Amino acid sequence: MIIPAIDLLDGQIVRLYQGNYARQTAFELPLKQQLQGYIDQGAQWLHLVDLSGARQPDQAQTALLRELLCDLSAKVQVGGGIRTEAQLEAMLEAGADRVVIGSMAVTAPDTVQQWLHKYGSSAICLALDIQIDHQGQKIPAIHGWQQAADTTLEKLIDRYLTAGLEHVLVTDISRDGTLSGANTALYRELAARYGQIHWQASGGIATLEDINDIKQSGAAGVIVGRALLQGNFNVKEAVTCWPNV
């Protein structure tokens, strides 16, 4: 499945290079028109990230997200700075179909497992951004990618399986925003080990060939941001490559 992504910083569409706020590219595009264009071309899901809220909780763009969720006909998953149950519930009540939980999934797994039990596995997607070290270990990064967790991706997933975990977005930080190609070997490995998880691939997607490679890896979906914004290909072409079924 193709999932177009829009990252929002202070109301503007941007993309960060490897998560670095100092290395951002702003796109002077009309936000609602851009999102509707994705839907018109065949997107059934959209991925919205509140970078302002992720950086500073008191700067969360809640009002903007509420407005967008009211207007969009596609399903939407929303992330960025979700740190409390009140925030999670507010996004669901505003119309989000799924809420993406990032650092909290690593730092407070007991709490997030409770959320999974309460709101259901279809309403929550874990977002795990990883650095792969020289030994091949997949280490989640937290707090804006500034700190390495003291666990591995596999240990974390194993812990969540008993809570009915269903959706996980995994980003190889070294690929994010680079257009250098996706880490398909990573998703192939994860899909083979955890067949019950719907994996979302993210990071490095630049071409339709990348889309096809991820489709073959066993991932359930792919998050596409910069490549669409820059016009490397459009949603219609991507959906033709990987139909949303």
C-alpha 238 chain-centroid distance: 17
Structure confidence at residue 81 (pLDDT): 83
Rounded distance between C-alpha atoms, residue 133 and residue 154, angstroms = 14
- Residue 80, both tokens: 């960025």
The active-site residue out of 7, 50, 176, 213 is 7
- Degrees, nearest 5: CA angle 13-19-24: 45
Taken as a whole, the chain contains a residue count of: 245
Structure confidence at residue 143 (pLDDT): 64
Structure confidence at residue 85 (pLDDT): 96
Structure confidence at residue 152 (pLDDT): 93
Task: Note the CATH architecture for domain 2-241.
Answer: Alpha-Beta Barrel (3.20)
Rounded distance between C-alpha atoms, residue 206 and residue 43, angstroms = 18
**Known active-site residue 7:** yes
**Known active-site residue 172:** no
- Residue 195, both tokens: 């067949």
pTM of the model: 0.91
- For the chain, give every domain's residue range: 2-241
Structure confidence at residue 193 (pLDDT): 97
The active-site residue out of 50, 58, 129, 150 is 129
Structure confidence at residue 179 (pLDDT): 74
Structure confidence at residue 241 (pLDDT): 94
C-alpha 64 chain-centroid distance: 19
Q: Are 32 and 39 in contact (CB under 8 A)?
A: no
Consecutive 10-residue averages of pLDDT for the chain (245 residues): 92 75 78 95 95 79 88 93 92 94 94 97 95 87 70 95 96 78 92 97 93 96 94 96 85
Structure confidence at residue 167 (pLDDT): 98
Structure confidence at residue 89 (pLDDT): 94
